[in-house]
Chain A
Amino acid sequence: MQPYRPNIGAAIDLIETPSLLIDLKLMESNFSVIAETYSHTTCKMRQHAKNIKCPDILWRQREIGGTLNGVCTAKVSEAEVMVEGGIRDILVTSEIVGGDKQRRLAYLAKRADMKVCIDNKTNLNSLSLIAQEIGSEIGVLIEVDTSMGRTGIRTPEEGIELAKLAESLASIKFLGVMSHQTVDGFADKETRFIEGKRYIDKCLVVKTAIEKHGIEVAIVSSGETFSYDVAPQIEGVTEVEGGTYALMSGPTKYMEEFSLAGKVLTTVIDVTETEIVIDAGLRCLGGPLGSTPTIEGQDDLSFVEMHDSYSVLIVKGENIFEIGQTLFICPSQQDILVNRWDNFIGVRDGIVEVVWNISARGCHH
């Protein structure tokens, strides 16, 4: 069915709930932080599309500045949406396995500058064969596992072998190395700089090892939102894969220069002596393994139960909430929440300015 779209120009209190809203001023302020940080650096932001899944928003960051005019995606199908949205430089940050997906990637490479990460020879050989068959060229970056304990090579030696193989294969262009990182919990600036540098340095060790074998490493794609200001200070890093900073979420509140721009508008649909019920539940908010969002400006409210389409919140102190009252929910995890919605409602000064389709929603393949 057609997703709900409020009228452009409507006041915020006319928006039906639950709805996913973007405060455009706050999002643009987040984008300006990036533009300023990267204004005089050779390292640039390669914004991650997996967080917002909407080419229009990625274009907005490009207009404001700080980017290298390309984006990351997590999946081939997301990349297809971005190419359809006019973006022509894409790094797919997951290994692409299986002939069908590799074929889709190879065809995309006829329309855009496509890059993909690799961490093993089987995958690389298969990519080369398919790209040859289709007549395109795919850029590859070796993924280095620097902290996630997930995909990616574990040693520089593996990186050298893969780089050599990539150099030897037809329809493959070896471009460099990349990595993902994360920090757990609340990270102050000192922690971010120490941990961020430590992880990125692991990636640079692989770069140096490969270069020693006479292979050029043109791209080092590393760093995330938490290290957006760390990476450009490290020589050799050419781009940063940040995504969360656009809208932000609860767990990254420690990045005070960025504001929470994406929130869910909800309505109180029932009130008891000590609790309220709101019309937003797990389906639209998500709550991985029991994690819960918060309510903006309401420290006296906390989630006690989340059901399919509603949630129950307990009120500390006197319950002065009323049925029909609206509240803003601050998400606990942004990108899995965005993936559940079909559009963003962009609001400025309390007025609906734009409705964007989240066109890569559900792009799992």
Chain B
Amino acid sequence: MLPPLRFVLCGSVDDGKSTLIGRLLHECRAVFEDQARAAAEASRRYGTQGDATDLALLMDGLMAEREQGITIDVAYRRFETPRRQFFVADAPGHEQYTRNMATGASTADLAVVLVDAEKGVLPQTARHSRIAGMLGIRHVVLAVNKMDRVAWDPARFDAIAAAYEAVATETGITRTQAIPLSALDGGGVTRRAAPAAWFSGPTLLEHLETVEIAPPAGEAAFRMPVQYVNRPNPGFRGYCGRIAAGAVAPGDRVRIFPSGAETAVARIVVWKGERERAERGDSVTLVLKDDRDVSRGDVIAAADDPVEVADQFQAQLLWMGDEPLVVGRPYRLKLHTRETGAAVTRIKHRLDVVDGRTRPAPTLGLNDIGSVNLATDRPLPFARYEDNRTLGGFILLDRRTGTTVGAGMIRFPLMRAANVRWQDFEVTRENRARALGQHPRCLWLTGLSGSGKSTIANLIEQRLVAEGKHTFVLDGDNVRHGLNRDLGFTEADRAENIRRVAEVARLMVDAGLIVIVSFISPYRSERDYARGLFEPGDFREIFVDAPLETCEARDPKGLYARARRAEVKNFTGISSPYEPPEAPDLRLDTATESPERCVDRVLESLA
């Protein structure tokens, strides 16, 4: 029996997509009588087929979908025939649900692209094919539906199939099979349509049962991302994961990435036993010959065919967030089992998914696809997406809401990333700290303008210097006029401003200093980014808190008055939000505590 086939079904609104999938499930007896009865009952309320059961209602599982008569979210179903098992994703066709269509396509080997025989190839058809091609699908079935409405006219079918060839070639689809059918009556789906005797090709189901999918050529060598380190007792240390490419056997030489350390596989452990071989798709536990430092997010790979490691990439990015992408803003990135901070450094262009043209774009909005440069905080072991979906596909998460805002495909590493190597200095940060006789740290003061940050930062520094410590204060005055004078006050520039300040603070902490950062830094995501640059315990988020009215009454620089007169734009607290820390290391209430008392508390917290 052939391996299970995973396919996605895509089509525009009213092409009959849910009807087709309902037909397939119905004919393959994957619909039970009570489920059919529920669909029949729903048909009477929402259906579009008169007295006949509206098969689409078998699939449109959410109440909102049945009420609106459209598919909103991806539905996953399983069915089988005596010849093969199938996983099918029913993806919504409407433009505003591109992200859901991409989700359905992401795990599929084949796409069934529906067109209406009366309407022919539409801009939507190109859009669906381009998304499928971009997600790595090479096989397409062009299902020409509603052939009964054009009297099963062979000339009409041929014209549509020919028109689609141009789309397929352009979108990376290499294998196309066109099939005439009628999802409504089932002709061409699981049985030959009598009026289409002129068609010598297979039915849809026959094709799905017999089509063979070859894995990408780049998947030959062994790769396994480490998911979980299993250490039940001092005598056992196993690395759990699902094999992303190739095969492995005991004795095989492997290397761990990103470190590059080499060892060999000692055993492949499975429940109550061991295996002699495991391959792509298998979940296993590997025991290695030598004691090596291996953690979640590392990749174990064939020693003679290592994976690439880089920290700057060019990638295709599909934006899935309701808020647009902000260039320079820190997001969390998850690639296979590895998570790290990442930022888009540049949008090269946006892709028009209908005509395939590219255009310059300052940002990407919901459902936009663009080509971007990406920088990650840590080097990542990866593969190009076209070679391996598991090692080349990543998601971006918003740091504040935690939600998935982007899906990306690595095209290639940027050369300059490959050229940067971390210098292994003889003198370590520990040496420097010891020479200065102090624990280097970053004290990050956040709060509204006028909350007292500068006053407190200066007092902290005076007290520390009096104790013989080595310090530095970073604030708007000494950074905005030099290092960051090229930055304005747009959201992207403010994100870049904070990123640079955080990086400078980290270098200073590495140099051994106690750095006091005094910045409004209104966004949690950016403060979290800063925290992520430091060793645990070396970063203290100190919330300098005072009510807006108090800050406004103090107004040391007259800025609130100007903001109220709208002379200053994007002013935090007035015309731009401030996100207070949810769990600061320390909160100072400057409305009720004196500056001296606040500084006492800061120094006590460091002791």
Same complex = no
A residues within 8 Å of B by Cβ? none
B residues within 8 Å of A by Cβ? none
